[in-house]
Amino acid sequence: QVQLVESGGGLVQAGGSLRLSCVASGRTFSSYAMGWFRQAPGKEREFVAAISWSGAGTLIADSVKGRFAISRDNAVNTVYLQMNSLKPEDTAVYYCAARNSAYPSTYAGNYDYWGQGTQVTVSS
């Protein structure tokens, strides 16, 4: 069992930056691939970024490529999402997810555990 707690969301002006954190419970964090997804009001949940268990492999959605970066620190059971040059269309609830596999995935159905989400609001 893995429990995930996100933090770092908030209100920011367009062009600003935020860093989201997701802390995982359990001693097997390093064996899980991790992902970030987001869901805006009235829209389906969409993939943002994912990272392999080692951190060597990453996947980034085209909509955020060049602006967002994912990283992890297995020593403190934490995965991060650095978000730069934020746009109003990035406004959403951001969810952290863990997959019981070494390899990241863009498909939400491949993830086994989910956090409660953190709200990110970007004003124009």
Mean residue pLDDT across the chain: 96
The pLDDT score that the predictor gives to residue 51 is 98
The pLDDT score that the predictor gives to residue 26 is 77
The residue among 18, 24, 23 whose CA lies nearest residue 82 is 18
Backbone torsion region of residue 89, taken as left when φ is above 0, otherwise alpha when ψ lies between -120 and 50, otherwise beta: alpha
Residue 38 confidence (pLDDT) above 80:
yes
DSSP per residue over 12-72, as a string?
EETT--EEEEEEE-STTGGGSEEEEEEE-TTS--EEEEEE-SSSS-EEE-TTTTTTEEEEE
The pLDDT score that the predictor gives to residue 57 is 96
Average pLDDT (32-50) is: 97
- Residues paired with 72 in a beta bridge: 79
Average pLDDT (77-101) is: 97
| Nearest-angstrom CA–CA distance, 98 and 29 | 9
